[in-house]
Structure 1
Amino acid sequence: MTLHLFSSAVMPPWGVLCVIGGFLYHLALGYFYTVGNMNPYVISYMGIKSSQSAWFSSVILAVQAISLPVGGVLAKKTGFRLPLILGILSSGAGIMLTYLTINHGLGAYVATYCILFGLGMGIPYSVIFQVASSWFPAHRATVVGIIASGFGLGALVFTPIQTRIINPYDVQPVAGKYPPEVEERIPRAFLILGGIVLGLELLGLLAMRNCPDSAAQGKLKAGSSNKTNVAEKGDIEELQSL
């Protein structure tokens, strides 16, 4: 017995690719969950206090919350690609730029690793759900769940990579300080991790397409709205002539 859910009419190829692309993009954004794993290394490298590192996640979430509406506004005016491209430039490039800013003080580090990454999370976040779910209007909850699971899996994917790059032999810090052979790997880790994030987001962007049906419906609604306005204007002019 063939399930109707898997028929080509219900699951168009571009729709499936769009969901996969959204999953990959959100998987990259799930890098956020590794900030806590990176904090001990950053504290050791920069010589900052643990209380200062507690602000990193808070800043990212605050910037994400502020920038969430921006993505929706941009998507309505320019299409979904611009918010996703801005997300790639902000998040992936922000992590990679931290290779430089980690050597220039806490403010520079927060600017690239927290503020830029927060923008990269917030601007494309809801746009991805909207584009992917438009292909499957009867299964929106399923599509959103699949894509959101990518965000949740970020820690599972990126945390082992971070540890493998920076501290493959699980060397423990002494009085909060890691040995030089561990610390020297920290800046390079940002380049590698930022490159992985950027690559996943780029793959996600390339896999996503607007649903033709939703675009047609939008034009139909716009057309019917224009016709209604014209008809109402004609009725008003007719009444005025009387």
Structure 2
Amino acid sequence: MVLMDPGRWLLRCMPRGWNPVIVIIGGIAINLTVGIGYTFGNMLPYIVSYLRQRVDSSLTKGAMFWLHAASGGIPFTTLLGGYLEKRLGPRMGAICGCVLLTTGVALSYFAIKMSFYLMLITYGVILGVGHGIAYNCALICAQRWLPNRVGLASGLIVGGIGCSAFIFSPIQTKFINPHNYVPNKDGFFYQSDLLDRVPYVFLLLAGIFVALQLFGVLFLVNPESVNEATTPSESNDENEPLIVHVREENAEISVEVRDVLRSSTFYALSVSLACSAIWVNIASVFYKAYGETFIDDDFFLAMVSSASSVCNALSRVLWGVIADKL
């Protein structure tokens, strides 16, 4: 007796037209955890204050940019994510990424108590590698379920990353700073009860991540066929294989790595991404540190991050829809 994949079994129990929706919701759940990097600016004052008071008094807020930069290998680890997805499938590939990401966050509970350089490894490198792998596996899977609306599928999946701060920035601030303390004039927190809670926020985040990721990977399965010209509306037999209609012009094309590296388009897109990422990262990392110089409300600054993430998410979906129309 062969046991059926539980995620696929659940999809078969649902109306056929809902299958892509459920898979994409699973991918969004994973990417909500992947987008934790967008909360770094919200966490920066807490992390640097803890490190200065409990570990190394010479650290500055400027040093925190290196912590964020340590996860900067994400564009390269997405390549690894694509490789793992091809070899292992979207679920197992995503599990590899999720385990790394969540482990990096959980280990930061210990790392922040010991060394800034250990934080570079756990909250930087390990988290960044997991980010790239899990993100790409969820993205590829969603695109396979909506092959004729790749822009929409991609926009919804990466919108989960953009929306991460909407959920996690308020959670972080409410947990670490429930009394809405304001930093001293030098920009650092000195309240001992606040500092005591900083390491534990990593365990809280890791626990939430596990719950979201378990739900997400359950439904991260490929359609059973991507070549047969059958739409869900053409059959009402719930016992038939899950089939997704694909137009011939959208058939998958294989491109060799060496051909990509010879393409001028590849380098133009890489330079464009790098230039746009610079200002995005600077703004997202230092917005709160700057805001605290003239705004004495930590809750408000956390909500700034939360509100901006909604715009971030919606714009990703919008441009995905526009891309489908072009």
Q: What interval of TM-score do these two structures reach, taking the shorter chain for normalisation?
A: 0.7 to 0.9
> What is the aligned counterpart of 1:49 among 33, 38, 60?
60
**2:113 corresponding residue in structure 1:** 103
> What is the aligned counterpart of 2:197 among 180, 185, 195?
185
Greater gyration radius: 1
Question: Mind listing any 5+ residue stretches in structure 1 that lack a counterpart?
Answer: 1-9, 218-242
Contact 1:172–1:178 (CA under 8 A) maintained in structure 2 = no
**2:21 corresponding residue in structure 1:** 16
Contact 2:39–2:169 (CA under 8 A) maintained in structure 1 = yes
**1:81 corresponding residue in structure 2:** 91
Question: Mind listing any 5+ residue stretches in structure 2 that lack a counterpart?
Answer: 1-14, 53-58, 230-326
**1:119 corresponding residue in structure 2:** 129
State the one-letter code of the partner of 2:51. M
Contact 2:111–2:118 (CA under 8 A) maintained in structure 1 = yes
Mean Cα displacement is larger for which, 169-178 or 87-96?
Answer: 169-178
**1:199 corresponding residue in structure 2:** 211
Contact 1:14–1:209 (CA under 8 A) maintained in structure 2 = no
Q: How many Å separate the matches in 2 of 1:73 and 1:140? A: 20
**2:141 corresponding residue in structure 1:** 131
Q: How many Å separate the matches in 2 of 1:187 and 1:216? A: 52
Q: How many Å separate the matches in 2 of 1:216 and 1:195? A: 41
Q: How many Å separate the matches in 2 of 1:112 and 1:185? A: 18
Contact 2:42–2:169 (CA under 8 A) maintained in structure 1 = yes
Q: How many Å separate the matches in 2 of 1:93 and 1:112? A: 8
Contact 1:41–1:178 (CA under 8 A) maintained in structure 2 = no
SS in 2 for 1:198: helix
Query: 1:215-234 residue pairs with structure 2 within 5 A?
Result: none
Q: Give the length in aligned residue pairs.
A: 207
1:107–1:180 distance in 2 versus 1, CA, 3 Å: same
Once the two structures are superposed, residues 200-222 of structure 1 have per-residue CA deviations (whole angstroms, 9 ceiling, x without a partner) of 122110122111113889xxxxx
TM-score, normalized by length of structure 1? 0.81
Contact 1:35–1:56 (CA under 8 A) maintained in structure 2 = no
State the one-letter code of the partner of 1:132. A
Mean Cα displacement is larger for which, 133-142 or 93-102?
Answer: 133-142
Give the ranges of 4+ consecutive aligned residues of structure 1 lying more than 4 Å apart after TM superposition: none
Choose between structure 1 and 2 for higher RCO, CA contacts under 8 A separated by at least 6 residues: 1
State the one-letter code of the partner of 1:51. G
What percentage of residue pairs aligned between the two structures are identical?
31
TM-score, normalized by length of structure 2? 0.60
Q: How many Å separate the matches in 1 of 2:66 and 2:197? A: 23
Q: How many Å separate the matches in 2 of 1:195 and 1:216? A: 41
**Superposed CA RMSD:** 1.8
Q: How many Å separate the matches in 2 of 1:17 and 1:214? A: 17
